[in-house]
Amino acid sequence: MSVDIFDLAQIVDDAAHTATAIAQLSEKNEMTLEEAYQVQASSIDRRLSRGEKRVGMKMGFTSRAKMVQMGVDDMIWGRLTDGMLVEDGGTISMAKYVHPRVEPEVAFLLNAPLSGPVTPMQAMAAVEAMAPALEIIDSRYEAFKFNLYDVVADNASSSGFVIGPWCPPDMDLDNLGVVMECNGRPVQIGSTAAILGHPGRSLAAASRMAAEYGETLEAGWVVMAGGVTEATPLAAGISVRNTVEGLGSVGFHVEA
Ligand code: OOG
Ligand code: MG
C-alpha cells in the first residue's frame, strides 16, 4: 500500500507546530526514501502557507559522531525557513520544543546558485561568507528515536539555527578547532575536519543531493554543513556558545 504524503506531512507538521511527540511514521507506513522527501516537502509547504519563507538547507549526518549517536549512516538534508532562525545572542523557550538538542556547526552564505554535482572547489566558489553556527534539533519522534525514512520525513529534525558573525571565505576550513560550551563549560570539542574532511564537501553534497529532488541552492541561501560533534540535550537555564577557531563565536540562551 502506498503512503498518503499529505496525511503524513500534516502529522509531522502538527507535531512540530504544537511541540508534541509522535510515534515513528515507519511503525505503520512503509515509505521509500523518495516518499520520505515528499512528506518533508509537503510539510514545509504547510509552513510556507502560514507565511514562512524558505531561506536555505541543512545537511545531516555529515560527521561520524552524528551517525554513531543516531544510528543512521546516510547523509540527509532538510529545508530551512525564516521561522527557524534564532537570533545570535537570543533566547529560546523550552515550551516550544519536544526535547531539543544543540550541536556545533558551520554555516555558508551563497552568492551564486549551486545546482547538481559540483566539486568542493566549485561549491566554495559560490560562498559569499561563512560563520560559526549552532543547530537546535528537535526530533518530533518519541524518545528522539527514528530510522532514515522517519528523520527525512521530519525535515531532518530541523528546529532552529543560529548564525554567528559572517566572515569572508578566505580561511581554510579543513581543520579549525570547534568548542561548544554550556554555561562556560566545554561540552563538545572537535574540528571542522569532522565534516567529511572539509565542510566544503558537505556543501558540494548539498548541491548534488538537492538536485536529485529538483532543487537548486539559491544565491542568498544559508547552508548548514552538519554537526561537527554529537548533539547535547538542552534544558532551561543553559547558555550555549560555539566557538570556531578563526571564525568567532555564536550563542543563545534557553529559558523555561
Ligand atoms: C538528525 C539531524 C542530523 C546533523 O547535523 O547531522 C543533523 C538528528 O540528529 O536528529 O542535523
Ligand atoms: Mg545538524
Q: Which residues on neighbouring strands pair with residue 233, listed in sequence order? A: 101
pLDDT value, residue 58: 98
Q: Report the distance separating Cα 101 and Cα 115, nearest Å.
A: 31
| Largest CA-CA distance found in the chain, in angstroms, rounded | 52
* CA nearest neighbour of 162 among 61, 242, 64: 242
Confidence of residue 1 (pLDDT cuts 50, 70, 90): low
Q: Report the distance separating Cα 38 and Cα 149, nearest Å.
A: 11
Share of the chain above pLDDT 90, in %: 98
39, 155 contact by CB (below 8 A): no
C-alpha cell read off for 15: 507535531
Verdict on whether the full-model pTM lies above 0.75: yes
Confidence of residue 2 (pLDDT cuts 50, 70, 90): confident
pLDDT digits over 184-198, tens only? 999 999 999 999 999
Pocket test for ligand 1, best of 80, 103, 106, 159 (most atoms within 8 A of CB): 103
Pocket test for ligand 1, best of 157, 162, 224 (most atoms within 8 A of CB): 157
pLDDT digits over 64-78, tens only? 999 999 999 999 999
**Sequence ranges of the domains in the chain:** 5-254
For domain 5-254, the CATH architecture is Alpha-Beta Complex (3.90)
pLDDT value, residue 215: 97
75, 58 contact by CB (below 8 A): no
* CA nearest neighbour of 66 among 105, 37, 36, 92: 105
- Ligand 1 center from residue 157 Cα (angstroms): 6
